[in-house]
Chain A
Amino acid sequence: MSHIVDIRDLRIEATVRPPGEKSKQITIVDGVSYQIESGKVLGLIGESGAGKSTIGLAAMAYGRGSVEITGGEVLVKGTNILEGGVAALHELRGQTITYVAQSAAAAFNPAKQLMTQVTEAALAHGLMSKAEAEARAVSLFKQLGLPNPETIGSRYPHQVSGGQLQRVMTAMALCPKPELIIFDEPTTALDVTTQIDVLAAIKRAIRDTGVAAIYITHDLAVVAQISDDIMVLRHGKTVEYGTTDAIINHPKEDYTTALVNVRSIEHAEAEPTPEFLLQAQNITARYQGAEFDVLRDVSVEVARGQTLAIVGESGSGKSTLARVITGLLPAAQGALSFDGRTLSRDLAGRSREDLRELQMIYQMADVAMNPRQTVGTIIGRPLAFYFGLKGEEKRRRVQELLDLIEMGSGFMDRYPAELSGGQKQRVCIARALAADPKLIICDEVTSALDPLVAHGILKLLLKLQAEKGLAYLFITHDLAAVTAIADSIAVMYQGKLQRYGPKSQVLSPPFDDYTDLLLSSVPQMRLGWLEDVIETRKMESAGN
């Protein structure tokens, strides 16, 4: 057997030190085994907290912080590296196995030129001369599609874009001609149109060099494009381990099935209606002290009881539009009307009714709730503030709202820190509902959540809409969520409306170049998708 890495019955523990308490050992990975043959790619997939990065790094016998491998064997080319000592590990790391981190911006030393860092491992291990290493780096830059491959090495990390830096990092991992590369969520921090280029570059590099790889991600559709085998992880244990085809097309476990089908919500588009709840006309806005408009002449409408999704990448102005509608950033030009009345551009000029009927939910539920208030206080405050509810009556209403968001009893006196990510977002939804609004602005409400949790939140939002006739302004970069929830769609690009209309119309050809790029960049849960897209795309990614 030509296994590069053969991990058997891995057990990993960490020491946690809660403030004011005794430190204790917790098990974060238990009983995990996997093998990688030369030239093959293994995908590790799981939610946050599944231990996937920890398991990946175990192939280099590396533990972050207080993390320690306490059981099992890590065989690299037949030798158990857990018993080999420090010198052997120095030999292995950066020579036999290399690593690509999630955030390239943080993983590069800001004080050193890229070329120095890319060739460092090869030189430190004495694998090639400086000239050879630099020549190899330049050819790798070329191979990975970086602009100006001859000179980019003389730049500093902050001088190149995020997508480029991630490719330089891949070059850095390839430079010492390793036998295995560990990719730790290498595209997660990137915009969707940039992600696809980096993904394609990585896939090409793996194919051309014949290196084996471990590819760690939370996105099953991404890993399906690149790996030969997939291991599904949850809470530090193996859920399912098999070939990519078996996992994607014939999942055995319920959890795997749920992951495969996570993007399957189908929301039938509502009939277009001329009855608009919110109208924003010719909005132009800029931030104080900025020299350009972040929004230019944007006009959109939200129909009563329907959902308008605003889609775009970072910097497209979609969140700014939300701030303009809420009045936090008064528009420089344009008009807003709500439920038949004019809405003041400035927050201070709005009536209490205006504020009550237009609620907002945030991306990071963590910081959207005061950590020193209980769930009861958080949900109860709008009830007291808008409706003057007190005491037992308020408490009963809070419980009704908790039931509505499917949380049930026992949460009233808890603090936000004691809730899971999905529960936090549900409490935020309940707080918005407490005001009995007509429109809720949802700003990237599912982006920070794991796919299955996000799926649950989307279903809840749809249910609430059907029951209460709520309208949503749903801001997101995630096109899968858009398909699931929207009735109409506005695509934004560089502060302008790129494409706008009913969902069916926006999502059917003919497309303009940008919408085509955006739509085609969303990873799909089928094998061979990546190759098809790269063949047929009209435009290079917007991020470069």
Chain B
Amino acid sequence: MIRIPLAAVIGLFLTSTYFLVAIFAPYIAPYGMAEIVGDVWEPMSIEHWLGTDNIGRDLLTRMIYGARTTIAVATFATLVSFVIGSVLGFTAAVFGGWVDQALSRFVDLIMSIPSLIFALVVLSVMPVTLPVLILVMGLLDSTRVYRLSRAVAVDIYVMDYVEAAKLRGEGRGWIIFRELLPNALSPLVAEMGLRFIFMVLTISTLSFLGLGVQPPNAEWGLIVKENKDGIVYGIGAALWPALSIATLAISVNLVADWVLTRTTSLKGGRE
């Protein structure tokens, strides 16, 4: 019997709701994504729960499709950064020597430039499409995953049980998958939550700057950009994404916290 603390239940519920909305957006959204259904910035009503946007599209629909884009881009970029970062991080820790030196110095170099600035420089020469955005964000962020997984793996690699496996004559495969990985998993999973949130913030920031997702596609940061002029007239349409991003970030945080405390109680993860 697994007892889940209340905070984790709330986190799990909200996180899965967001992902379900993202996956089933076309079935949930009341109107078409770019369909103009009313006047500019209509207030909230029965027909338009959140009102309409700067050119008369249904704002709830835009938010739902926005969830789809934002969450998809963030998820894929997180996957890219984890696959590349953790494979290279483990490689550096296990092989050591010049492989480690070369990889680590290169990562130092990339990280000596603020990642948003780096992304802007790259996006000024690359076409701004979803695959490019995912790759650029994933690659830049993989440097952080690399540092974490290398540090975790190095810590484990000097443990006597790894030495015992080496003395037994075990191959690299056993050492990586049976000795390192099970012990590195819980910090990596918790970090995955944080990286995902960071990706959500990054993609919405890029879109807001006009350098991410392009209209007529919907994206939370883009929705802010489209509706920001309403703010000075007291129209809050641009603020809905603030609510959705903040709740998504906090609920993912709660889940990550729970995963971390649960897997670090050293009974091999069983209760």
Contacts and interface: CB of A to CB of B under 8 A. Distances in A.
Direct contact of A and B (CB under 8 A): yes
B167 A372 contact: no
B9 to A, nearest CB: 13
Interface in B122-178: 159-161, 163-164, 166-170, 178
Contacts of A84: none
A381 B161 contact: no
A359 B258 CA distance: 40
B144 to A, nearest CB: 25
Nearest to A368: B160
A127 B216 CA distance: 80
Given A355-B168, A385-B169, A370 B266 contact: no
Given A364-B160, A369-B161, A370-B183, A381 B264 contact: no
Given A20-B5, A362-B160, A355 B267 contact: no
B268 A415 contact: yes
B28 to A, nearest CB: 34
A469 interface: no
Interface in A368-417: 368-374, 381-382, 385, 415, 417
Contact of A355 (B160, B169, B178): B169
Most chain B CB atoms below 10 A, which of A352, A370, A385, A435:
A370
A290 interface: no
Given A364-B160, A368-B161, A370-B161, A417 B266 contact: yes
Contacts of A352: 169
Nearest to B4: A20
B164 A362 contact: yes
B159 A19 contact: no
A367 interface: yes
Interface in B73-90: none
A371 B266 contact: yes
Nearest to B160: A368
A370 B168 contact: no
Contact of B261 (A20, A367, A368, A381): A20
A226 interface: no
A446 to B, nearest CB: 16
B167 A385 contact: no
A274 interface: no
B159 A367 contact: yes
A370 B267 contact: no
A370 B179 contact: yes
A374 B168 CA distance: 18
Contact of B166 (A328, A367, A373, A418): A328
A359 B268 CA distance: 26
B170 A372 contact: no
A367 B159 CA distance: 6
A32 interface: no
B170 A371 contact: no
Given A326-B167, A360-B167, A372-B268, 14 more contacts: A328-B166, A347-B167, A359-B167, A368-B159, A368-B161, A369-B161, A370-B182, A371-B266, A372-B183, A374-B268, A381-B168, A385-B168, A385-B169, A417-B267
22 contacts: A20-B258, A20-B261, A347-B166, A355-B168, A359-B167, A362-B164, A367-B160, A368-B164, A369-B161, A370-B161, A370-B182, A370-B183, A372-B182, A372-B268, A372-B269, A373-B178, A373-B268, A381-B168, A385-B170, A415-B268, A415-B270, A435-B168
Q: Nearest 8 CB-CB pairs, A to B?
A: A372-B182, A417-B266, A368-B160, A19-B261, A355-B169, A415-B268, A362-B160, A370-B161
